[in-house]
Amino acid sequence: MSGALAGIKVVDLSRVLAGPWTGQLLADLGAEVIKVERPGAGDDTRQWAPPSLPDGTAAYFLAANRGKRSVTVDITQPEGQEVVRRLVADADVLLENYKVGGLAKYGLDYASLAALNPRLVYCSITGFGQDGPYAERPGYDYIVQGMSGLMSITGPADGEPHKVGVAVTDVFTGLYAANAVQAALLSRTRTGLGQHIDMALLDCALAMLANVGMNYLVGREVPPRLGNAHPNIVPYQVFACADGHFILACGNDRQFRAICECIEKPELASDARFATNPQRVKYRELLVGELASAFMCRSRGQWLDVLEAAGVPCGPINTVDEAFADPQVRHRQMEMHMQDSIGQDVPQVACPIRLSGTPLEYVLAPPKLGEHTDAVLLGLGYTQAQIDALHARSIV
């Protein structure tokens, strides 16, 4: 492979989403990623269906495991632990999301493997990190969305808190972890040594609060739940129109004046209560009421045409099928298809990273459970007879 991370070997002991998302991104960028799974069952998400492919592989699994080779290993057995140690001996990265201390009893913790391979970058992903009063707790995206404050700012202002429709704390943790892995690899070029990376879903969820978190730290006021409105910008929200809804994203005073012209109420732009964004935030309810009334007189398509022509940021609220059918999305080829080892068509959402010098290559579809076990073990120096014996005992 000729990707940006070509020559980097990753051993992926993680399962479900945050860890596998990290591994898939590294694979997309050209790393060799070997996914270590439990014999017989594999990653839990293989069974998280429907929907699934005709062979039963769940769409959930397909979302986070492209570009990997699957090896089944029972790490609870000494022979299985030896397989992992052989994999790690010349690896650059290990990913794991076991409970804190969970791999130490198998001799697969950072201290043990760093003694074997001092250059190893060992990335641990947990719900709450390697230390602190919650370190022993299992981590679930839904729970972390609640604990982090994210749900308190998501949903209708007068309704119950809502989770985000995607497991965003898992996905963000995967993105942060992939960045951390690459930073550690870069550091290794100077020091010659790997290091332990401690990633926590709760930490990442707090970090992704971004301006909302900073609003609290600066103003010390608890951010309210605003539904589809923005805490710092007005008007920046969903509006109803004659045949549905659309998004209006007004980012400055010039755009606001253009909106007022579009709705044939230019006097709003010169009203002292609305002339600047801080004033519009202060008098949010009054202004939104004026705009909401005006937008009901035309259809979504008409408003989008008028507002776009006036240079006002706006857009439709697409369903997922409409999003994939959007001409811009189709042009960018965000839906792509691969073929797996048994000839099935495997649809995929493409990686959004575009590199001019080392473009991404999609070589391996998400693997079948244990699909590459024998080939990988042969590459580690096992004989076929030894591999057959491990199969017979369900070690691999």
pTM of the model: 0.94
284, 317, 350 - which closes a domain: 317
Contact 23, 12 (CB under 8 A): yes
Shared domain for 204 and 304, answered yes or no, is no
Shared domain for 248 and 179, answered yes or no, is no
Shared domain for 144 and 76, answered yes or no, is yes
Shared domain for 15 and 110, answered yes or no, is yes
Distance CA 61, CA 342 (A): 17
252, 283, 317 - which closes a domain: 317
In the beta sheet, which residues pair with residue 126? 200
Residue type, 380: L
Q: What is the DSSP letter of 328?
A: H
Shared domain for 80 and 50, answered yes or no, is yes
317, 351, 366 - which closes a domain: 317
Shared domain for 351 and 313, answered yes or no, is no
Instruction: Determine, yes or no, domain membership for 221.
Output: no
Q: What is the pLDDT of residue 120?
A: 98
Instruction: Determine, yes or no, domain membership for 1.
Output: no
Q: What is the pLDDT of residue 148?
A: 98
Counting other chains too, the contacts that 315-323 makes at CB distance below 8 Å and 24 or more residues apart are 315/246, 315/247, 315/249, 316/246, 316/247, 317/238, 317/244, 317/245, 317/246, 317/247
Contact 366, 345 (CB under 8 A): no
Range(s) of the domain holding residue 310: 236-317
Q: What is the pLDDT of residue 2?
A: 83
Contact 81, 110 (CB under 8 A): no
At a CB cut-off of 8 Å and minimum separation 6, what does 369 contact?
A: 37, 41, 42, 46, 70, 72
CB atoms within 10 A of CB 45: 20
Shared domain for 75 and 172, answered yes or no, is yes
Q: How many domains does the chain have?
A: 2
Q: What is the pLDDT of residue 65?
A: 98
Shared domain for 56 and 204, answered yes or no, is yes
374: annotated active-site residue: no
Digitized pLDDT (tens) for each residue of the chain, 396 residues in all:
589 999 999 999 999 999 999 999 999 999 999 999 999 999 999 999 999 999 999 999 999 999 999 999 999 999 999 999 999 999 999 999 999 999 999 999 999 999 999 999 999 999 999 999 999 999 999 999 999 999 999 999 999 999 999 999 999 999 999 999 999 999 999 999 999 999 999 999 999 999 999 999 999 999 999 999 999 999 999 999 999 999 999 999 999 999 999 999 999 999 999 999 999 999 999 999 999 999 999 999 999 999 999 999 999 999 999 999 999 999 999 999 999 999 999 999 999 999 999 999 999 999 999 999 999 999 999 999 999 999 999 999
Shared domain for 30 and 141, answered yes or no, is yes
Shared domain for 31 and 177, answered yes or no, is yes
Shared domain for 251 and 350, answered yes or no, is no
Question: Measured between alpha carbons, how far is residue 233 from residues 117, 210, 266, 270, 277 in Å?
Answer: 51, 15, 20, 18, 6
Q: What is the pLDDT of residue 1?
A: 55
DSSP letters for 123-192: EEEESS-SSSTTTTS---HHHHHHHTTTGGGSS-TTS-----SS-HHHHHHHHHHHHHHHHHHHHHHHHS
Residue in 169, 161, 22, 45 with CA at minimum distance from that of residue 97: 22
Query: Which of 12, 170, 203, 340 is the catalytic position?
Result: 170
Q: Is 213 helix (H, G, I), strand (E, B) or coil?
A: helix
Instruction: Determine, yes or no, domain membership for 224.
Output: no
- Which strands, in side-by-side order, build the sheet including 314-316? 236-241, 244-249, 314-316
